[in-house]
Amino acid sequence: MRLPVLTLQSAPREPSRLVRRSVRQVVGTVLGLMTGTLLVLTALLALIRIRRPLQAARRWEQRRLHRFHRLRLVDDGAEPEFLGPGRAIVHGLLAAVLGYVMGDLLLLVAAVVLGSLTQLLLGGPVTMEFDAWTISRPALAVLVIFGTSSLLAAALYAELAARLQRALLGRWTTVAREDALESRISRLLTTRRGVVLAIDDERRRIERDLHDGVQQNVVSLSVALARARRATDPERADELLEQAHRQSQALIEEVRQVAWRIYPTALDEHGLASALAGIAETCPVPLTVENRIEGPPPRAVESAAYFVAREAVTNVVKHAGAGSASLTLTSSGEGDRRVLRLVVRDDGAGGADPEGGGLQGLARRVAALDGTLEVRSPLGGPTLIIAEIPYA
């Protein structure tokens, strides 16, 4: 699901951040050719008891990893003793090979791009000769196509190089990637705005319920009582009072339904299963509820799952034209990390719009808890709404 786009003042500028990251990693990978080679050479010296050069090379390599790849080791700032001579040779060889390939790639890119630019200025085509054939293309086409694809290839290769080095170092010590924090902050800013929008949507819905339902019934009740007070015929007055009594009972039920839609007391008193059973009892469409969760999840997760289920079932009743629906609740995972999975399925006409206001509100509510919402609704049905919410 796509969440609302934030303003540039609200979140980091993602394209520029990705460009800076790619350039930084390309430079860091090329520098790995130098630091990796030094690491191998100094590690060989350490095998014959000359250890000081290895200590300096390890510090340089650590700075390269931190500055250009944002890889922070657990003992950052101290001597990385886990990287002994044997491991230093392995890591240095990997860094040097990755750096050599990146340097060769950049050299090839520079040669073709500069050559294409020169041919473009001279007004001639770019000709590439092979033993089997010769290719001649306009210089502008070669410059645009090859230049763009080569830059993308360099960025992807630098990302792969960083991951390989992180994987190797991760076998010996704990490695944290600091730029992951930037993505996390960006997502938190997005979900925070989503929470605010979801709260505003909920307030507008409550206002509509009160205005269109409760307020109208209160006005009708007030009019019936006023007519009963003015009636001179006792039988007519009794009839109006009976009407007012019926309207008061309907008003009590309306207020109860509004309160239930705001937050059901059964959720606190009896848990999520009972609250979902209440949805099934009042649903005009036959709804089956299957609960396979082990132990009660946190209250915030229960609340989010309940509102997702209620809104999804409401959409089934209003728009799907379904003959039946089902609601399945499961939990998975082990230890401190578990996931609550809620699936609402109907046999209606399908074609639900994931970008609609109601489904976007559900996506924002789930994203606020680091969850995801997926909508599968091909034309002709069936429609599946799948919410997954992690919890500890």
pLDDT of residue 125: 86
The mean of the pLDDT values for the chain is: 80
* Closest C-alpha among 355, 378, 357, 374 to residue 366: 374
Weakest mean pLDDT among 52-61, 292-301, 308-317, 355-364: 355-364
Q: Long-range CB contacts (< 8 A, 24+ apart) of 2-6?
A: 2/354, 2/355, 2/363, 3/190, 3/191, 3/193, 3/194, 3/360, 3/363, 3/364, 3/367, 4/190, 4/193, 4/194, 4/197, 4/360, 4/364, 6/189, 6/190, 6/193
What is the pLDDT confidence band of residue 183, given thresholds at 50, 70 and 90? low
Q: Are 54 and 85 in contact (CB under 8 A)?
A: yes
Residues near 299 by beta carbon (within 8 Å), at least 6 away in sequence: 268
So what's the pLDDT on residue 6?
39
The DSSP-derived string for 204-266 is HHHHHHIIIIIHHHHHHHHHHHHHHHH--SHHHHHHHHHHHHHHHHHHHHHHHHHHHHH--HH
Q: 267-391 architecture in CATH?
A: 2-Layer Sandwich (3.30)
Q: What average pLDDT score do residues 222-239 get?
A: 82
Residue with tokens 């609250």, as numbered in its chain? 275
What is the chain's alpha carbon radius of gyration, rounded to the nearest angstrom?
33
pLDDT at residue 4 above 60? Answer: no
Check whether the bond before 382 is cis (ω within 30° of 0): yes
User: Which band of pLDDT confidence, cut at 50, 70 and 90, is reported for residue 3?
Assistant: very low
- 94: tokens are 């990997």
Strands 287-292 and 325-334: parallel
Phi and psi of 78, rounded to 5°?
A: -115, 175
pLDDT at 158: 92
Q: For tokens 């293309």, what's the residue?
A: 137
The shares of helix, strand and coil residues in the chain, as percent rounded to the nearest 5, are: 65, 15, 20
* Distance of alpha carbon 49 from alpha carbon 115, whole angstroms: 50
Q: Residue with structure tokens 């997502």?
A: 187
Q: Is the pLDDT of residue 392 over 80?
A: no
Residues forming beta bridges with residue 341, ordered by sequence position: 330, 388
More confident residue, 207 or 121: 121
Q: Which residue has the higher pLDDT, 41 or 6?
A: 41
How big is the chain, counted in residues? 392
Please check the confidence at residue 27 and state whether its pLDDT lies above 60. yes
Which of the two residues, 205 and 32, has the higher pLDDT score?
Answer: 32
Q: Nearest Cα to 84, choosing from 118, 56, 54? A: 54
Delimit the domains of the chain by residue range.
Answer: 14-177, 202-262, 267-391
